[in-house]
Structure 1
Amino acid sequence: MDPLPLILGGTYRRTPSVIPVVNPYSQVPFAEVCTAGPHEAEEAMQQAVEGARLMAALPAHERSALLFRLARLMEEEADLLTDIIVREGGKVRRLAATEVTRAITTIRISAEEAVRIHDQMVPMDGYQAGVGRIAMILRVPVGIVLAITPFNFPLNQICHKAGPAYAAGNACIIKPASLTPLTGLKFGELLLRAGFPKEAVNIIPCKTDVAEQMVTDRRIACLSFTGSPGIGWYLRSITPARHVTLELGGNAGVIVHEDADQTLAASRIIEGAYAHAGQVCISVQRVFVQRSIADSFIHELVSRCNTLVTGDPEESETDVGPMITPEKAIWAHLKIEEAVAHGARILCGGRLSGHLLVPTILADTAPNMAVRCEELFAPVLTVTVYDTFDEAVTMLNDSRYGLQAGIFTKDLGRAIYAAQKIQCGAVLINDIPMFRIDSMPYGGVKESGIGREGPYFAIREMTEERLIIIRP
């Protein structure tokens, strides 16, 4: 097949530079995609300037209608979108289908929020000089949103950035992950079919240096980035954008107290630890269980983990597919071996099966081991025993990250204490940190990022407040 073109100002463009798209399970390249160079990045910026003008001129009901039309087209193409996510991302089919459903919901919520962007009256007569004047705050689009998206949710993460950007009246430049560019290009095709102004549609796979060129461009008003903490904080340090949203992941923890529903907790933790081979920002990585129930609960976790099927994501019985590249699996396996060399015990898994990392549970880990203190982004779970609830909260907080956390208990007072003391963007009671609905405010503290996703909250990040004072 010929290399797939990128999209510049709504126009398909081929370039001499291409990258292969490799199936993570078979390791067979099955497509090539054209990538942008400095010239194409500059052209995208110029197109987006005009696109921002056109989008800002559209009334809210027209922006909403465009987004609703996009959602309908995504529904019609849901099976194809699912196929693309499975093939280029290695996500098991049922999870890929769920991502498509969620992405459609994200666009629909954005369409609804487009007509709910409220202005605000400001009282002026509290001071003598303000008597007789009328003031209001208008919320206006920022201009150009640069969306840099990750491989693990190649569709829904685009929708969480582009949906609110268009709802607010902005243009968007989307830089999809180099390992999963096909989903982004398909999304761009659907934007054009839905009728968005072509200048506002720019989907440009590119290498790191070209992405940095765009990040440092003063025409970018908002940078919305999801990815690794190191890259995210670096981009924030070099961008002149006034609005920056970073969603950077973490090493999410769960506390299981002695009064918890252990069956529920074990079921949810296994789901949260191994979905998409642990390659989720809020994947469960650390479990803290009270000593009085530790033996029985850990046995339950191990039993459930051992039933998981690792293999081809196309097969309906597969629970855990491949990591995005063999190199990532090898790196995670090395971290397991390092932990074992310093005293950790493998309770299950802990090995590579070909280039797939088998779901793993580790005990007796130390706080400074990478499997506990770093974001492993792999199907690896650590289990630590505690005595007092305060101790558990302290251990959970002992992290550079703070995206989401979970606690299982039937005690309301303990739950409230945890919600007040745990240093995270969200604390979930009797559930795992991997729970998310697409309308909620989503984001973290510490090194997990800044700003919030969720269309209503993202729109606030992608608009400016403008004060208007009228002297009749």
Structure 2
Amino acid sequence: MPGNEKSEVGCLIAGSWVTSGTQSDRVGPWTRRVVSTTRQADDHDVEKARWYARRGARAVARMSPAARADVLERAAAEALNRRDDLARLLALELGKPVKDGRGEILRVADTFAVAAAEARRIGGEVLPVAGWARGVGNTAMTYRAPVGVALSITPFNAPANLLAHKLGAAFAAGNTTIVKPPPQAPASSVAVVQLLLDSGMPPEAVQVLHGGGEVGAALSAAPEVGVISFTGSPATGNAVARAAGAKRLVMELGGNAATIVCADADIAAAAAVCAATGYSNSGQSCISVQRVYVDRQRYDDFLDAFTGQVRALRVGDPLDPATDVGSMVDDEAAERVVTWAREAVAAGASITTGGSRDGATVTPTVVAAPPADARLIRDEVFGAVVSVVPFDDFDEVIATCNDSRYGLQAGLFTHDVRRIVTAWRELEVGGLVVNGSSNFRLDHVPFGGVKDSGFGRESPRWMLDDYTTVKTLLLRGMSLFGEVLFGEEEA
């Protein structure tokens, strides 16, 4: 996209791209110019998409798992071919450094490959009905059938990979999907959909409707939709649930992730990892390092090492391959970060580096010892700031981490197996990363949270449980297991 060119983004409805109609511009947070213009869906589009989804569900369900897997494998290879172009779109629309964008597209390729493998594994089982007297003489079998129509509502922070998870798993299971992308990343989202279509995904398998909350609510309420996968804030997730009613829901609703650094940890390594994973994508990740609790014996050493690592991060143009930290999604988000940091300082904390912004770009900020009731600790900051707090007792720091409405993922630096087991058992989170920060994820491993961080698990294998339904077949008078009760022959 050289010069002042911009992406023209349409809605994909009933197999056709629709570009005429009401438009919305996306201004890049770094470039400060319009980088994409998107056609907005209306009520008529929603109704047409619902009609087409009913038809599409039948067509996609008739595809063999092998055919669906072949499409996803081609898409995985094509994602690598388009990696640089997709990373550039992410940088323009979101201010995400191209090094982070390239990493996200690598994960897209992995996610499609894993989804393909799971498509090939879909099956069922023969049930042991003859193990009980009333089942003798009968046979029962199950298979996993597609739910039919899935709705994927995706966030701005990782729009390509989270769409790959939702759309890839839904298609692997044999569903058609309606995609409602984030307004901040329409071109990036459509590029992933187009990649799948170019790889052989049939048009009946996907539609894309752009718009705000009213479009998401209308789609969530549609009776044709059988399962909704949503990633976003708890407030929006609650709105989706209210609109959806009695539907299957998979919700990933954010967090304020904690990482614990024990006295036996390699402090230099822990500081380097927390710096790299606390500010990647400007901290705009639901598992980004937000709170670091350090054993008081090593607190000063960690704070010094961590501050030095953070100061060394390169802030600048997201299109520069050397940039570590680009801009946040918009000026409002950036202002929230510096405001919360100032509030913590007013309450007794100190800033060891950063604390300012230039437009949507926040200088990576470290806040030392904010109080427990600071918003940096209590709420989800979703930005380029990390708090570092000392602790004295391991059981107490576990309780401190749990004193949160969220529970997505945590990190722990220690070599003490007893502490590892204790943390795994006692931390109220969906996942624990040992000798790594909270901000680490493998796309073939289940991911999700507890409490206000949501419910359900993402990763194709576990998502297939939500995207399929068990159908049972009972064969009366036919048995694979024998038909005689003990003693009948003698009688």
C-alpha RMSD over aligned residues: 1.3
Residue 397 of structure 1 and its aligned partner are, at CA, apart by: 1.0
Give the C-alpha shift of residue 83 in structure 1.
Answer: 1.3
SS at match of 2:290: strand
Task: Assess if the C-alpha contact under 8 Å between 1:223 and 1:241 holds in 2.
Answer: no
Give the one of 269, 277, 282 matched to 1:277.
Answer: 282
Contact 1:291 1:387 in 2 (8 A): yes
Q: Which residue of 2 aligns with 1:93?
A: 98
Q: For 2:270, which of 262, 265, 268 is the aligned residue?
A: 265
2:8 aligned with 1:8: no
Structure 1 runs, 4 residues or longer, greater than 4 Å off: none
The answer to whether residue 254 in structure 2 is matched with residue 246 in structure 1 is no
Is 2:388 the partner of 1:377? no
Q: Deviations over 1:119-143 (max 9, x none)?
A: 0221112322210111122111001
Question: Following TM superposition, by how much is the alpha carbon of 1:241 offset from its aligned partner in structure 2, in angstroms?
Answer: 5.0
The counterpart of 2:86, out of the listed 77, 81, 84, is 81
Structure 1 match to 2:317: 312
State the partner residue of 2:350: 345
Matched to 2:160, the amino acid is L
The structure with more radius of gyration? 2
Indicate the percent of aligned positions where both proteins have the same amino acid.
Answer: 36
| Contact 1:106 1:160 (8 Å CA) reproduced | yes
Greater mean alpha carbon deviation, residues 302-311 or residues 285-294:
302-311
1:2 Cα offset (Å): 8.3
Offset at 1:469? 1.2
TM-score by length of 1: 0.97
Aligned to 2:147: 142
From 295, 303, 308, the counterpart of 1:303: 308
TM-score, with normalisation over the residues of structure 2?
0.94
The residue type equivalent to 1:77 in the other structure is R
Q: Which residue of 2 aligns with 1:419?
A: 424
Is 1:330–2:335 an aligned residue pair?
yes
Q: Distance in 1 between matches of 2:214 and 2:293?
A: 41
Which AA in structure 1 matches 2:75? Answer: L
Q: Specify whether residues 75 and 2 from structure 1 end up closer, same or farther in structure 2 by C-alpha distance, changes over 3 A only.
A: closer
Task: Give 1:74 deviation, angstroms.
Answer: 2.2
Contact 1:3 1:18 in 2 (8 A): no
Deviation, structure 1 residue 26: 1.7
Counterparts of 1:438 and 1:322, CA distance in 2: 25
Unmatched 5+ stretches in structure 2: 1-5, 479-491
How far has the Cα of 1:457 moved from its partner? 0.6
What is the letter of the counterpart of residue 122 of structure 1? Answer: L
User: For 1:61-140, what aligned pairs fall within 5 Å after superposition?
Assistant: 61-140=66-145
Q: Is the 8 A contact 1:218 1:240 kept in 2?
A: no
Give yes or no for contact 1:64–1:114 (8 Å, CA) kept in 2. yes
Partner residue of 2:393? 388
5+ residue gaps, structure 1, are: none
Is structure 2 residue 53 aligned with structure 1 residue 52?
no
- Aligned 1:147-186 pairs, distance under 5 A: 147-186=152-191
Q: What is the number of residues matched between the two proteins? A: 472
CA offsets, 1:229-270, max 9 Å, x none?
A: 111122123213531101111010011111111111111111
Deviates more, 1:286-295 or 1:195-204: 195-204
Measure the CA separation in 2 of the matches of 1:333 and 1:315.
Answer: 25
Is 1:400–2:409 an aligned residue pair? no
Matched, 1:368 2:373: yes
Give the match's secondary structure for 1:114: helix
Counterpart-to-counterpart distance in 2, 1:271 and 1:198:
40
